Structure 1
C-alpha cells in the first residue's frame, strides 16, 4: 500500500513555472555525440571535424546512465567532462540529456520491480531500452539521483545551453498492479458514482458491471473500448506528469537561462508518420521551454518532404506556433535511406521551412555493435569524411551565414488539421480492414502539402482560436464530447469551413455510440444522416465528379450511405444496390459551411476533395499554380519580410516564377517579380522578398 501511495503521489506532480530560458537566436546545426561509444580516443579530433562542418551544437549523455553511474551513488563524469571540454574549445554548444530512458544493470538487479509489467502480465526482461515503469518509486528515486548529480555537475559549464528531458518518452505499456490501482483512484476522483461510470461505459454488457470499487478489474483483459481507451488516456497522462516532474527537478538545479526540451517522437509507419498514440504532445509540452521532435523518413526516390513537413507542423503547433528543435533526424540512417546527392541539404532546409530552430542528426558516427549497428550517423564506423560529411560542410556553412536572419520565422496559416488522441485510440479499437487513424488523417494533410497550402495541427488541447483559420479539416473524429463537436460546429456557424470525414461523431468522449442518428452531434450541422455502412466492394463515385482516373474514383476501406436532410449532394456512390446513397455532402451552416465525406478516398481523390474545399474557403496557396514536386513553404522573418523556401522534391530540374521581387539568400542574387527561380535536382532556394509582409 505504501508503494501504491508513493506511486500515486509521483504521478500527480504539478506543472512547474517556466523560467525565462534562452534558446540562441540563430539556427543551430548539430549531432548527437557519444564519446562512450567511440572505438578509440578521438573526442578532440571529432570536435575539430564538427567545427569544420559547421556543427554548432551537440547533444550528449541521454543514453549512458550505466557509464555515468556505474554503481548506485557512485558517479563518473569523465566522458561528459571530456566532451564538454572538447566542444567548448571549438565553440560548440551542448545540450545535456537526462539519462533516464535506458536503465543500468545494477538498478534492474537491485530493484527488479522497476521493470515494466505490460498487458500480458509479464515483467520486461533487462536488455532493451525503455523497459521500465516510469511511475515506479525506486526508478524515480534512482532517476532523481542521477539527474541532480548530472545537472549539478554540468550546469555552470559555459558550453551547456539546455537540457533534453529523457528521450522519446512514452508509458511503455505500463499496466501492472500499481498502475492499475492508481488508475482506479483517478476514476474515483472523476466519477460521482459507479452507477454513472457503469452507464457511461456500458458495463452491463457481458456482465462487466462493477458494483464495488474494490471489484474493479484489470484493464488488461477488457473487451470494452470505453474502459480500454480511458486507461490509454491515463497512460498518456503518466507521460505528461513524468516530464513535468523532470522539468521541475532540472529547473531547480539548472543555471538560469538554460532551456528544457524533449524529443517527442511520432506515430511510426516506415518513418515518422502521424500523431503519437501514446503521448498527448499538447499537454506534455506545457512543462517545456521549447518543443523538440524526432523526424525520420524515407529518402532516395521515396523522399517527398511530407514527413518533414507534418512532423514540423505538429512540433510547431503543440506550443501554439513557437519554433522548435529537431533533436533527431537521419543523416545516412537505414541502408535504404542512404541519401542521393543533394538530399541531405534539401532535408535540412525543409526543416527550417517548417519553423525549426535546430537540425540535429542522430548521430555523429555509427555504432560498432548492438541493435543500431545499421542505423548510420553522419559518419560510418570508420569515422572518416564521406559524402554526407561533405554535404554537411556545405549545409553548416550556409546555416552559419544565414542562421541569424532565418531564425524566429513566424507563420499565420489559414488551414488547420484537427487531430485527437482520444479519437485515435477509439478509432483504432475498431479499425476497418486493419487501417489505423493516421492512415486516414495523413492523406488529407498530404493533399494540402502537395498543393502548397500550409497547415497547423490542432487538437482539443490547443489554445489557438479556431476562428484564426478559414478551413479546418477534421479526419475521423470518432470519439468526442458534445461540447467538443459543438465548438467545431459553432466555428462553422460563425463563418468557418469544416471538412469532416467518415466515422466522425460516431461515439461520445467515452467511446459509447450515441443514441441518435449518425453522425451524431455532427448530423444537424452537416445536414446529413445515415444508418448503413459497409466495406466498399465494386463501388465508384457516379459520374466521376472530381475528374480522377477510374482506379482513383473508388472508395476504399469504409463507406457510409448518406441521406441529406438540408445538405446538397456533392457525390453519390455508383452501385446497383445503393443508387440513391450520397457519398459526400455540403451544408450551409450559419455563416459557414460543413462538408462531410462519408468514405475513405484514394490519395488522388482526397487531393481533389481538399482542393475544392480550399477554394470554397478562400484559402490562398503559397504560390498559385505551383504544386508537388515543387514545394513552397515560408513565413515572416524577424525583420518583417516574407521568406519563401522553394524545395525541389524530384530528380529533375524545376523552375517557377518569383511571386515578388527579393533576394535569393543561398546565392546572394537579386530576383525580379516574375523572374525565374531555377532549381536543380533535389535543390533548394530561399527567397527573402523585398518590403515588409505586414
Structure 2
C-alpha cells in the first residue's frame, strides 16, 4: 500500500492562476473524441478538468473486481496540454451490485422506508458495510493515479448532505448521542420540555423516532446530529485520501450550499479548500436592479431568487465557509435543471458571471459540464458543448474569458474580497425556523420553510443594491473578543438570530458597546440553544442594547407602507411586524397604518461607543436598500465608487501584491457611463484611465481595473486594522 503521512495543503500552494475548466466525462461521450475534446479545451484556455466522481460501477463493475486503467488516457491527454486534473471519489452514486448484495446500506428517507434504487445519494454512508466498500474502492483509485503529474487534487464524494438518514442504526446512534449529551432522562425531559403532550420519557428506549416528532428542541438536535454525520463522513474520506495522495495535492468536496444535512463550515474544516456549486438564473434573471416580482418561469424551481445580487450572495457564502479563496467546482454553461427550463445566457453574461465569482474570491471556475449528456436524468442540463458536440456561442465566449484569465495571470491569485459589512449566518436559526416558520409562503397560507434564508437574502439584496459589499460569517467565526470584532467589522448585520446562547447575545451587545453598528431583525434573541423561547420581555438579553422592547407581534396579510423622517424611508413592510416600544431608542421608520402606526417599524439606539438598529419587519427591496444606505451614511466612510448608474455594480478586492482591483459590471441592455473617482489601469487592455475620466460599459459588459491611487479604499475594515 502506498502510505504517506497526513498533511495539509495551504490554499496558497494552489497554482498561481485562476483555474478555468469543466467536469469532463469521456466515458459518457457517444463516440470516441478525447483528442478533439481536449484540443478544444486547450484552445479555450481551459486549465483544469474534474473527472471520475460519478462512476463507481465503471471503477468496480462487480463486487471486488476493479478496472482502473480507463482514466489513464484522459489524464495523459490533459497533461500533454497543460490541463490539470481533479479526481473525484465515486461514493455518492452506488452501483447496482452494491444495493443487491448489501441492501442494508440503502438510505432510509423515513423510518422503515429504504430509498428505491435508481438515483444517487441513496446509501447510508454511516453504515459499516458501506464504509468498508467505499474505503476499498478509494484505496484502489487514489494510489493508481496519485503520482500522475496532471493530478493536482481530489474531490471526496459529491454534494454531501442531501438526505436526512432515518436508518435504525442512525437513530440508535442519535439516542446514544443524546444520552451522552444530557446524561439522564430527567435532564432531557426538562431541556426539551417533554411534559408537553405527555412526551416525558422514563428510559432512553422510549425516545421515539423523528418521523412524527412535534418538539422543536428534538428537531434541532436531530438536524445537528445529521450534519455531524455528514461532516464525519467527509472527514473520514479526506483522511484516507490524504494518506494516499501525493505531496501538494489538495483534498476538497463539492458543496451544494444549503443541503438538509449539511453544516458547510464544519464540513470544510478537515479539507484543504472549500469548493461549492454556484448556479443562478441567466438572461433577465441577471438584471440589476432585480425586478420587484421576477417571473418564476425564468429559473428552475430550486433557484428561489433572481438578480445579479443572488450570484454574489452565493459567492460570498462560499468565501465565508473558510474565510479564504474557494473553488467553484460547478456552475452552468447553458440550460440548467429540467428539460422545460432552457434559458442560456445573453451575450456577455457568461463572462460577467466568471468575473463576479473571481471578484468574490473564486480560485477556480469549472462548468458542469463539458458536453451535454445524451442519456440519464440530466440529459437536458446544458454543457459547454450542446448535443451536437460542436462549439457554439457558449464556447466562443468562454474562450474569450479563458484568454482574459490567462492574461491576468497571478494578479488574480489569492484575492481578498472587500467587505463594508459582515452578515451573521446562523445555521441553527435556519433549522429552527424551518421547523416553525414565522411567516407564510406567499398568499398560500402554507408555512414558509425558507423563511430564514428569505430574511438573509432580503437584507443582502438591500446591501448590494445600496452599493455595499458583504462578508458572511458563522457564529463560530466571530471569536470571543468583542473589541476586535468591532474593529474588524464596523457593521454587523444579524438576520433573524432565533437560536442563540446567552454568550453569543452578550458578545453582540459588547460588539456594539465597543463601537460596532449592530443591525438586528425580528426574531433575533428569541430562543435559547434548545429552540425554547426565552421567558423574558423581548428582545431579551439585547433589550437594553436595542433600547426598545415588544410584548406582541403580528403577521402582515398585506404589505404596509413604511415612511421615515427626511424622506430616507419610503417602502413596504411585509409578512411580519414586531410591536416595538422605544425605551431609549429613537424611531427610525413608522408604519402608515391605523393600527400599526402606534409602533415604529425600526428603531436605532446609541449603545456604548456604538449603535444598535433593530428592524421589526421583513422589508421589501426598496426599504431594505434604504436601510442599507442609512447604515452606510451613519457608520461607514464615503466611497466615491458608489456614485454610478443604477445598472452598474462595482466590487473590490485586494490582490496578494497589495494592489486594489475594481470589477465594474453593467447588468442591463443599456450602455452605461462610468466616471472614475480615482486613476486606474485596465487590467486586460493596459489602458491608463485618469481620475474624473469617463468610459462606457456596453450591454452585459465588465471591466477589471487596477487602482493607481490607493488613498481611497472604500473599505473601513482596512482603516481599522
Q: Shorter chain as normaliser: what TM range?
A: over 0.9
Residues 651-662 of structure 1 mapped to structure 2, 5 A cutoff: 651-662=669-680
2:301 matches 1:311: no
After TM superposition, give the deviation of residue 77 of structure 1 in Å.
2.3
The aligned residue for residue 240 of structure 1 is: 231
The aligned residue for residue 571 of structure 1 is: 589
Residues 526-605 of structure 1 mapped to structure 2, 5 A cutoff: 526-537=546-557, 540-541=560-561, 543=563, 545=565, 547=567, 553-605=571-623
8 Å CA contact 1:548–1:605 kept in 2: the answer is no
After TM superposition, give the deviation of residue 621 of structure 1 in Å.
4.4
Stretch of structure 1 that moved more, 538-547 or 156-165: 538-547
Q: Measured at CA, do residues 603 and 545 of structure 1 come closer, stay the same or move farther in structure 2, by a change above 3 Å?
A: farther
Counterpart CA distance in 1 for 2:176 and 2:427 is 22
After TM superposition, give the deviation of residue 538 of structure 1 in Å.
5.5
Counterpart CA distance in 2 for 1:337 and 1:618 is 39
The aligned residue for residue 517 of structure 1 is: 537
SS at match of 1:554: strand
Stretch of structure 1 that moved more, 169-178 or 414-423: 169-178
2:623 matches 1:609: no
The aligned residue for residue 191 of structure 1 is: 182
8 Å CA contact 1:282–1:462 kept in 2: the answer is no
The aligned residue for residue 466 of structure 1 is: 485
Deviation by residue 1:442-480 (Cα, 9 ceiling, x = unmatched): 010111122221111011121566321010111111111
After TM superposition, give the deviation of residue 601 of structure 1 in Å.
1.1
Q: Measured at CA, do residues 377 and 546 of structure 1 come closer, stay the same or move farther in structure 2, by a change above 3 Å?
A: farther
SS at match of 1:536: strand
Counterpart CA distance in 2 for 1:506 and 1:352 is 38
The aligned residue for residue 154 of structure 1 is: 145
Residues 83-122 of structure 1 mapped to structure 2, 5 A cutoff: 83-119=74-110, 121-122=112-113
- Give TM-score scaled by structure 1 length: 0.93
SS at match of 2:571: coil
Counterpart CA distance in 2 for 1:17 and 1:544 is 57
Residues 344-363 of structure 1 mapped to structure 2, 5 A cutoff: 344-363=350-369
The aligned residue for residue 329 of structure 1 is: 331
The aligned residue for residue 444 of structure 1 is: 459
Stretch of structure 1 that moved more, 202-211 or 410-419: 410-419
After TM superposition, give the deviation of residue 196 of structure 1 in Å.
2.0
The structure 2 residue matched to 1:425, chosen from 431, 436, 442, is: 431
2:425 matches 1:405: no
Counterpart CA distance in 2 for 1:466 and 1:119 is 43
Counterpart CA distance in 2 for 1:533 and 1:302 is 34
Counterpart CA distance in 2 for 1:546 and 1:293 is 43
Counterpart CA distance in 1 for 2:562 and 2:659 is 47
8 Å CA contact 2:557–2:575 kept in 1: the answer is no
Q: Measured at CA, do residues 497 and 686 of structure 1 come closer, stay the same or move farther in structure 2, by a change above 3 Å?
A: same
The aligned residue for residue 25 of structure 1 is: 16
8 Å CA contact 2:513–2:608 kept in 1: the answer is yes
Q: Measured at CA, do residues 137 and 410 of structure 1 come closer, stay the same or move farther in structure 2, by a change above 3 Å?
A: same
Counterpart CA distance in 2 for 1:677 and 1:247 is 49
2:658 matches 1:640: yes
SS at match of 1:24: coil
Q: Measured at CA, do residues 285 and 602 of structure 1 come closer, stay the same or move farther in structure 2, by a change above 3 Å?
A: same
2:498 matches 1:478: yes
After TM superposition, give the deviation of residue 579 of structure 1 in Å.
3.7
After TM superposition, give the deviation of residue 655 of structure 1 in Å.
2.0
8 Å CA contact 1:541–1:571 kept in 2: the answer is no
8 Å CA contact 1:492–1:593 kept in 2: the answer is yes
Counterpart CA distance in 1 for 2:204 and 2:62 is 42
Deviation by residue 1:28-47 (Cα, 9 ceiling, x = unmatched): 11100001100001111110
The aligned residue for residue 196 of structure 2 is: 205
Deviation by residue 1:54-82 (Cα, 9 ceiling, x = unmatched): 11100000111111111122111233112
Q: Measured at CA, do residues 116 and 619 of structure 1 come closer, stay the same or move farther in structure 2, by a change above 3 Å?
A: farther
Q: Measured at CA, do residues 692 and 604 of structure 1 come closer, stay the same or move farther in structure 2, by a change above 3 Å?
A: closer
8 Å CA contact 2:562–2:572 kept in 1: the answer is no
Counterpart CA distance in 2 for 1:511 and 1:350 is 37
SS at match of 1:185: helix
8 Å CA contact 1:539–1:573 kept in 2: the answer is no
The structure 2 residue matched to 1:493, chosen from 513, 516, 524, is: 513
8 Å CA contact 1:471–1:619 kept in 2: the answer is no
After TM superposition, give the deviation of residue 20 of structure 1 in Å.
4.8
Counterpart CA distance in 2 for 1:498 and 1:71 is 58
Q: Measured at CA, do residues 463 and 249 of structure 1 come closer, stay the same or move farther in structure 2, by a change above 3 Å?
A: farther
The aligned residue for residue 502 of structure 1 is: 522
Deviation by residue 1:267-298 (Cα, 9 ceiling, x = unmatched): 3xxxxxxxx55311111111111111100000
8 Å CA contact 1:448–1:454 kept in 2: the answer is yes
Counterpart CA distance in 2 for 1:173 and 1:636 is 40
8 Å CA contact 2:640–2:677 kept in 1: the answer is no
The aligned residue for residue 294 of structure 1 is: 277
Deviation by residue 1:328-372 (Cα, 9 ceiling, x = unmatched): 000102343311111111111111111111111000000011210
SS at match of 2:417: coil
Counterpart CA distance in 1 for 2:503 and 2:527 is 13
Counterpart CA distance in 1 for 2:402 and 2:282 is 20
Please provide the CA RMSD for this pair. 1.9
Aligned length in residues: 669
Counterpart CA distance in 1 for 2:666 and 2:129 is 52
Q: Measured at CA, do residues 400 and 61 of structure 1 come closer, stay the same or move farther in structure 2, by a change above 3 Å?
A: same
8 Å CA contact 1:418–1:457 kept in 2: the answer is yes
After TM superposition, give the deviation of residue 637 of structure 1 in Å.
1.4
The aligned residue for residue 271 of structure 1 is: none
8 Å CA contact 2:499–2:529 kept in 1: the answer is yes
Deviation by residue 1:112-155 (Cα, 9 ceiling, x = unmatched): 11111113541101111111112111111111111111111110
Deviation by residue 1:197-245 (Cα, 9 ceiling, x = unmatched): 2112111000111221122211222100110111001111111111111
The aligned residue for residue 389 of structure 2 is: 383
Q: Measured at CA, do residues 174 and 477 of structure 1 come closer, stay the same or move farther in structure 2, by a change above 3 Å?
A: same
Counterpart CA distance in 2 for 1:238 and 1:113 is 18
Stretch of structure 1 that moved more, 477-486 or 71-80: 71-80
Counterpart CA distance in 2 for 1:546 and 1:180 is 58
Counterpart CA distance in 2 for 1:521 and 1:121 is 43
Counterpart CA distance in 1 for 2:537 and 2:133 is 54
Deviation by residue 1:490-518 (Cα, 9 ceiling, x = unmatched): 11111101111111111111010111112
SS at match of 1:461: helix
After TM superposition, give the deviation of residue 485 of structure 1 in Å.
1.1
Counterpart CA distance in 2 for 1:45 and 1:477 is 53
After TM superposition, give the deviation of residue 412 of structure 1 in Å.
4.7
Counterpart CA distance in 2 for 1:300 and 1:251 is 41
SS at match of 1:561: strand
After TM superposition, give the deviation of residue 632 of structure 1 in Å.
0.8
- Give TM-score scaled by structure 2 length: 0.90
Counterpart CA distance in 2 for 1:577 and 1:19 is 60
Counterpart CA distance in 2 for 1:419 and 1:628 is 28
SS at match of 1:337: coil
SS at match of 1:287: coil
Q: Measured at CA, do residues 538 and 36 of structure 1 come closer, stay the same or move farther in structure 2, by a change above 3 Å?
A: closer
8 Å CA contact 1:171–1:236 kept in 2: the answer is no
8 Å CA contact 2:8–2:250 kept in 1: the answer is no
2:31 matches 1:40: yes
SS at match of 1:147: helix
Counterpart CA distance in 2 for 1:621 and 1:449 is 14
